[in-house]
Amino acid sequence: MNSNIYETLGDEKIRLLVKHFYLNVREEPTLRKLYPEEDLSGAEDRLYWFLLHVFGGPHTYLEKRGHPMLRRRHFQWQIDQHLRNSWMDCMLRAMDEVAMETDIREALMNYFVKVANHMVNS
């Protein structure tokens, strides 16, 4: 189903999802403190490229960053259940801002829950 997500949503809606996610992150102190820079555009680009890749779109992430290695890239932060829940809340609210079919929304939710659970390391 992940490859169908890109075909259905396309670049524009995935970019919009990421934009809304980081608007939510800016308002969530628990997550915001993980980004020392004021400008979150670099983080936005990295998440956008990653989502394009995992949802069946261009492999820009691999070209620019290499293999995702999500746990390894995030291991420097203690990710507990509270941080996981804050991240999920920001992503779910972002999903509410992007028009999409129910089956695509469910596929996104399933993917994000699986990844968020996988990232918990404390």
Quick: pLDDT tens for 72-109: 555 566 889 999 999 999 999 999 999 999 999 999 99
What residue segments make up the domains of the chain, in order of their start? Answer: 2-119
Q: Which CATH number fits domain 2-119: 3.30.565.10, 1.10.490.10, 3.40.309.10, 3.40.605.10?
A: 1.10.490.10
Degrees (nearest 5) of the Cα angle 66, 69, 72? 125
Q: Is 80 helix (H, G, I), strand (E, B) or coil?
A: coil
Say what the pTM is.
0.87
Say if CB 122 and CB 74 are below 8 A apart: no
Q: State which H helix or E strand residue 3 sits in.
A: helix 2-26
